[in-house]
Structure 1
Amino acid sequence: MRVVFAGTPEVAVPALDAIADSGHDLVGVVTRPDAPAGRGRRLTPSPVAQRAEELGIPVLKPVHPRDPDFQEALRALEPDCCPVVAYGALLPQSALDIPPRGWVNLHFSVLPSWRGAAPVQHALWAGDEVTGATTFRIVKELDAGPTFGIMTERIRPDDTAGDLLERLAEGGAGLLVATLDGIEDGSLEARPQPAEGVSFAPKITVDDARIDWTRPAVAIDRQVRACTPAPGAWTTYDGERLKLGPLTLTDLPVPAGRLEVGKTRVLVGTGTHAVLLGDVKAHGRKQMPAADWARGLRLESGAMLGEA
């Protein structure tokens, strides 16, 4: 089939590469416009745009996919199907109608669970044991289109959102190519999603990522891993924000928010048992092990995290 791939962040690049290496004719790529990045805030192409340019594939960067000029350019490419991974913009019906075999999305959950922008983060935060990826035909309703195929992935006890998403991106790339193959040869037929089991995964905000130390240690551990690497879990010390990397659970009793400072480790209490801090990043400082951070501030046991 003639296909035009749509995607934007790094997580979409494995699927782009898999399609480029497949038997399908990749005739174009759609991605978000260049955006400010880095310390100098220079306009920078998306990871998908950069990879497409390396592959010599034409790239379209509409401000919005409803733009008539974009739709005309897409129509001129004559795609049979448009595979999508994390494109980042809502597609109007006028764009959905262009490829005769539709737009096929790779979504990182087992639908109908965790429809929305942050399925991997919400699966971790909820304590799910298994997640996966689903290919489905895009319709107007959010992530509600009929499905073609799924893969499953067990969630490991120490997974961060970044770790899990990396595995799903690699495995999902193969699923997306297999879906395109099945659509082309007629062996795959889209099936409606079940009406039961629907859950939603809205984008996680910086406010969502703030730690409440009165909550159970297991819940805090899940929250931190779900927010790693973005937006980054955080608390406060002495009125300033302190970003937190993944934690380690312990069975030690320490009051919620209280620090227990040793030479080589820093514990903080929760609503149940203490957790061992990993790497931390104070405002204006580099990321470092918690023990180094505490040593630099000459912290002693009894200091508190999370106070305004």
Structure 2
Amino acid sequence: MRIVFAGSPITAVPTLDALVAAGHEIAAVVTRPDAPVGRRRVLTPSPVAAAAEERGLAVVRAARLDAAATEQILATRPELGVIVAFGGLVREPLLSGPDHGWINLHFSALPAWRGASPVQHSIVHRSGAGATVFQLVPELDAGPVWSRRERPLTGEETTGDLLDELARSGADDVVSVVAAIARGERPTDQTGEPSFAPKLGVDDARVDWRLPSEDVVAHIRGMTPEPGAHTTVGGVRLKVTAVGDAPADAPSLAVGAMTAVGRNVLVGTGSTPVRLVRVQPAGKKDMDAADWWRGLTTVEGLIAS
């Protein structure tokens, strides 16, 4: 099938690769414009743009799918549009431009967690996770379903871990759906009450130590790696990149109070303490929490807030 593919982050690359490997003709790859990255603000292509150019595919860079981008895309005469984490809305006349419209790989078991941050919300709320391939319609993530997989959470995943996994398995789902479309099959309507996953920012990622420990742990894992769980210790921002359960004999701590027992750095919550495993101080690299603790000039009375 002649396909136009739209996506930007690394999680979209497995689907692009799978479509190429399956023998489909990629008419064009639509992705975000190059953006400045790092301290030196080096202009860098999106992961999808880099992958497409490496494979010799035509690339359309567009911040949004406006009239100019629509004209470029429809000029390639695609039979089907496939979108994975592009980050922009597909509106008419682009929506119905390809012969078979557009399908979208979404990283939740729809109708759960419609929106921009489904994996983060799945982990934070300790609900089931999954991936769905659905037919794109004007309403947000509400189109009929081609394939849907559910994936129970173990409680150990971060958003980064789960996204990597779902990106790989979802790529296979997309290839299967394209084959089903070619056979003339039809999707089925979504059923059930939807929940919503709005985009999360830095403020959403601040740790609330007043919550019970299980909610604190789920929040930190859900915000890792993006937008990045963080707290303030001694007036300095501290990113928390890995966390775990405290030892069974951990002392009782007030909310936010910090101490170390051996190499276990503990923080008090609304219930039992949690253990900091990895942290990243402002302006420094990610490090073992025990090493960070040993490097502090004073540890008396420290409070995470």
- For normalisation by structure 2, the TM-score amounts to 0.96
Q: Secondary structure of 1:277's match? A: strand
Match of 1:191 in 2: 188
Residue deviations 1:122-153, cap 9 Å, x none? Answer: 0001112x321111111111101111111222
- How far apart are 1:263 and its partner, in Å? 4.2
Tell which deviates more after alignment, 119-128 or 32-41: 32-41
- How far apart are 1:285 and its partner, in Å? 2.0
Q: Secondary structure of 1:74's match? A: helix
Q: Secondary structure of 1:139's match? A: coil
Match of 1:106 in 2: 105
Q: Which runs of 5+ in 2 are unaligned?
A: none
**Amino acid in the other structure paired with 2:155:** P
- How far apart are 1:212 and its partner, in Å? 1.4
Tell which deviates more after alignment, 254-263 or 100-109: 254-263
Q: Secondary structure of 1:91's match? A: coil
The list of structure 1 runs, each at least 4 consecutive aligned residues, that deviate by more than 6 angstroms after superposition, is none
Question: Is this contact kept in 2: 1:262–1:291, CA < 8 A?
Answer: no
Tell which deviates more after alignment, 203-212 or 12-21: 203-212
Q: In structure 1, which of residues 142, 161, 164 is the aligned counterpart of residue 162 of structure 2?
A: 164
Tell which deviates more after alignment, 203-212 or 70-79: 70-79
1:200 aligns with 2:190: no
Match of 2:141 in 1: 143
Q: Equivalents in 2 of 1:172, 1:193: separation in Å?
A: 18
Tell which deviates more after alignment, 117-126 or 260-269: 260-269
Question: Is this contact kept in 2: 1:261–1:299, CA < 8 A?
Answer: no
Q: In structure 2, which of residues 181, 206, 211 is the aligned counterpart of residue 210 of structure 1?
A: 206
Match of 1:249 in 2: 245
Match of 2:58 in 1: 58
Q: Equivalents in 2 of 1:268, 1:242: separation in Å?
A: 13
**Amino acid in the other structure paired with 1:297:** L
Residue deviations 1:183-231, cap 9 Å, x none? Answer: 0111x3122212x320000111111111111110000000000000011
Match of 2:82 in 1: 83
Q: Equivalents in 2 of 1:286, 1:66: separation in Å?
A: 40
Q: Secondary structure of 1:93's match? A: coil
- How far apart are 1:12 and its partner, in Å? 0.3
Q: Secondary structure of 1:144's match? A: coil
Q: Equivalents in 2 of 1:205, 1:221: separation in Å?
A: 18
**Amino acid in the other structure paired with 2:187:** A
Question: Is this contact kept in 2: 1:122–1:226, CA < 8 A?
Answer: yes
Q: Equivalents in 1 of 2:245, 2:160: separation in Å?
A: 20
Q: Equivalents in 2 of 1:237, 1:189: separation in Å?
A: 55
Match of 1:4 in 2: 4
- For normalisation by structure 1, the TM-score amounts to 0.95
Q: Secondary structure of 2:207's match? A: coil
Aligned pairs, number: 302
Q: Equivalents in 2 of 1:106, 1:145: separation in Å?
A: 12
Q: Equivalents in 1 of 2:66, 2:91: separation in Å?
A: 6
Q: Equivalents in 2 of 1:62, 1:271: separation in Å?
A: 46
**Amino acid in the other structure paired with 1:285:** K
Q: How does 1:1-308 map to 2 (within 5 A)?
A: 1-68=1-68, 70-128=69-127, 130-186=128-184, 188-194=185-191, 196-250=192-246, 251=248, 252=250, 253-300=252-299, 302-306=301-305
Q: Secondary structure of 2:79's match? A: coil
Q: Equivalents in 1 of 2:171, 2:119: separation in Å?
A: 16
Q: Equivalents in 2 of 1:57, 1:184: separation in Å?
A: 23
- How far apart are 1:271 and its partner, in Å? 0.7
Q: Secondary structure of 1:245's match? A: strand
- How far apart are 1:100 and its partner, in Å? 1.5
Q: Equivalents in 2 of 1:165, 1:217: separation in Å?
A: 24
Q: Which runs of 5+ in 1 are unaligned?
A: none
Q: Secondary structure of 2:113's match? A: coil
Q: Equivalents in 2 of 1:151, 1:31: separation in Å?
A: 26
How many percent of aligned residue pairs carry the same amino acid?
A: 44
Q: Equivalents in 1 of 2:256, 2:72: separation in Å?
A: 56
Question: Is this contact kept in 1: 2:276–2:289, CA < 8 A?
Answer: yes
**Amino acid in the other structure paired with 2:200:** I
